[in-house]
Structure 1
Amino acid sequence: MSEETGLTSREVRTALDKLSETGEIETSATNKFTLIKVVNFSKFQAVELGSDKQTTNERQTKDNEKAKESQTNDKQTTTTKEIKEREEIKENKEREETKNNSVYQLIVDMYNDTCVSFPKCTKLSEARKKGLRARLRKYTVEDFKLMFEKAEKSDFLKGANSRNWVANFDWFISDRNFVKVIDGNYDNNISCVSNSCISNVSQKNSSSSNVFLDIAKEEGLF
């Protein structure tokens, strides 16, 4: 026992005497050795098992807390990443919108400076932005410039027609009208009959005028 406990023989005997006095052990001597019985041994075992169980539960609780904390950190990291991505998308969209608005305003200014015979465009509405955005998928800013220049030279678009009708910015940025102006359908060497255009020639008498009316009817313009 001295070897197992690291105590001297005297210290072992003293400890056993005290445990015997307190009733924690019982001793009985034989011819060869002394038997030592631990009183309420099973009780001490239960306490030890309970302690082990408590330690295990505490360890599991700590492990669960660590797992939850790790999950929370992962969730926070993911949320932060998503927020950052959304902010980047928003910033890119705002930059793109600012860039587009600059181009839209450039076209509006070009119209106001070039088409001085037409009503001014004073407001860049969402509907107009939408129309400009659609046209810019097919045409360049230079195409807009050419169209505005041709429009300003067109007497018909400026009101020299049977209805005294005058075109405006919204009419020009319509896809159908845009291409017609670009193609020269409203140039001054074109005569428009019933809102459609046919080639104009010098008219010296009423018979030549009737010829054009006949052509217009044949083309289904009336």
Structure 2
Amino acid sequence: MNFHFDGAVAEMYGVDGAVFISRLQFWIEKNAANDRHYHEGRYWTYNSLRAMEKLFPFWSRRQIERIVKNLKDKGVLLTANYARDSHDRTLFYALDESKLPISPFGGEVSPFGDTTLSRNGDNLSPNGEMINEQLKTQIKEEEDKANKPEISNKPQQLADRYNAICTNLPRVVRLTDKRRRAVRLIYGKGYTPEQLDEAFRRAQASSFCAGQNDRHWKADFDWLLNENNLVKVLEGKYDNPAAAKPPKKGGEELKWLI
């Protein structure tokens, strides 16, 4: 496998850091293309230190740990743990592209200054095979996808449900990247399609949400995807006041006097 790096990145983070960043960019780009490992508004890649030693056979574990620490200290490398198993300590990695002098997800840098994918295609390890730890997780992900709707379709499906239910509220005419991230985030927090449908129905039935307020303001798709607003709608904060019950007639209304 050939390793490439950007000279401007090397000036900022050293040659080792630039090589490490270049590989991360490639893996993160692949995950973004397949809409995998999306957490907290960005795409991530993952690997254990043991796998990293195989992916970077010219570095020792101590050298890899030092590179990771240096990049984290400088703020360009982000780490987290999103493994399904709480006992799995495999780290996930992402990049703060604002701290890079090159465009995000640039792939490998060619001699002519353009960017290309690795010649090894899907073969991410030095010997052309997947690292076992990574392969196991990816197999599990494919099994999960077979048992539930594809997450990449969820933003459009939810927007369609909103438009169908909330006919008194502003329609969604375009799904922006920000809206797609908001949908993924709200699903990632555990809200179900049924709960979101219920919130849409309550907002549709709410006079306040439909503009009958002192500002003539109306709730919309973006407002409902804010968790604070969503919880208030589900808890009935914006429901119409119940109609006052008429007083009872006859002897019933005087029973308390007896």
Task: Specify which structure has the higher proportion of helix.
Answer: 1
Higher relative contact order (CA 8 A, sep 6+): 2
Normalised to the residue count of structure 1, the TM-score between the two structures is: 0.44
Normalised to the residue count of structure 2, the TM-score between the two structures is: 0.38
